[in-house]
Structure 1
Amino acid sequence: MEMMASKYALLFAFMLFFGVQQETAFTWQPDRNLTWADYQAVVDPNSDAVALTAAGITFSYSLKEADRRFVSFVATAEANFYPESSWYKKDKCNETVLAHEQLHFDIAELHVRMLRAALNDLETTQAIKSDLRRVHRNANRDMAKMQNTYDLETNNSRDVEQQEQWASLVKNELEKYQQFESK
């Protein structure tokens, strides 16, 4: 038997961020919330945003092949935060904004859990490569849509009532997928 490995990583960043090269990251943890000390990038002076949270899904898989047929796969997915690409404007941020940014990271974790649930349902067929790419692509698409809707509906944390509703929604969804939680 031989092992074929393919690695796919896609980073989704919030509020106008694109692209992270090899840099320090940490994985979402149930008992660790973001702090302003985690935001280490230089502030973009041209941005209207008061904070930028660089976070997203990293995904990889390996396939086991026997007699030229795929017989199994192993996949991993994590929600990561990238401190060296995340920044905030100290004079314009407070704990309300930090809670808003934390929820962006929580939304990434939610979509990782949903991705893991979808992976759990996959069967190893000869189309497994395309199936893996599809569920990963769908997770990123759905996460991006939710992140954008979240910012729009909360007016980037300024609508306190909507912010509370979103916090409740995300908490409930995380609980729904608790068996797929990052450890």
Structure 2
Amino acid sequence: MKGIFVACFLVSNALFGQKIIWNENVKLNWSNFKSKVNHRSGGNVVAYTNCGWAYSYVKSSNPKAPIEIEIQTVFNEDKSWKDTKRINDYVLLHEQKHFDVAEVFSRKLRKEVSEKIKTGADFDKYFQAIYNRILREYQNFQKAYDGETRNGIVEEKQSEYNRIIAEELENYKSYKAS
């Protein structure tokens, strides 16, 4: 007997909002930021991007049977906010990079999952630890990104992060969603 199980991670765990699945050919625009509520307090916050990943899996009751796992990078429009009086293209690029970072860590998760999880038993034994570790790395990277760029204000640091993020996307390109 096969069962389908779905679990999601989003920065604020919104399951039924409007979502955009990450695609290298589709970039965010200001109309994607639909929340009326500023989810991050602070005077220097011009916009807030709610993104992360969602995963689903199909697992047999036979623990030795292969498992299918799908991981997608998502942007939650209903939880993403903008200050319409202060937005511009530069700020939008900074917010796009948050979404791109989520894709980098989705790819890292896909890589580890593909290397270490082949069966339902592997999933039960390893998935949560892998997921939690990569989630912490993701959160730490996002925090460092905003901290070092001061939410995109420090242009030199923003340029450095733009390069790092592009390199990481390239380094893990074989793990993009199919």
Q: Aligned Cα RMSD in Å? A: 1.8
User: What CA deviation, in whole Å up to 9, does each residue of 1:54-95 have, x standing for no partner?
Assistant: 1111012222233xx332111011110111111100111211
- Secondary structure class of the residue paired with 1:70: coil
Distance in 2 of aligned mates of 1:3 and 1:107: 33
The residue identity in structure 2 corresponding to 1:126 is A
Q: How does 1:1-183 map to 2 (within 5 A)?
A: 2-12=1-11, 18-44=12-38, 47-48=41-42, 49-66=45-62, 69-122=63-116, 123-124=118-119, 126-183=121-178
Distance in 1 of aligned mates of 2:7 and 2:39: 32
TM-score by length of 1: 0.88
The residue identity in structure 2 corresponding to 1:173 is E
User: What CA deviation, in whole Å up to 9, does each residue of 1:28-76 have, x standing for no partner?
Assistant: 001011111111110439832211111111012222233xx33211101
Cα deviation, residue 5, structure 1? 3.3
- Check 1:159–1:135 CA distance in 2 against 1; reply closer, same or farther (3 A cut): same
Unpaired stretches in structure 2, ≥5 consecutive residues: none
Unpaired stretches in structure 1, ≥5 consecutive residues: 13-17
Provide the identity percentage.
Answer: 25
TM-score by length of 2: 0.90
Runs of 4+ in 1 over 6 A off after TM superposition: none
Asked whether the equivalents of residues 30 and 182 of structure 1 are also in contact (C-alpha less than 8 Å), the reply is: no
Asked whether the equivalents of residues 59 and 77 of structure 1 are also in contact (C-alpha less than 8 Å), the reply is: yes
The residue identity in structure 2 corresponding to 1:97 is V
Equivalent pairs counted in the alignment come to 175
Asked whether the equivalents of residues 47 and 80 of structure 2 are also in contact (C-alpha less than 8 Å), the reply is: yes
The residue identity in structure 2 corresponding to 1:60 is S
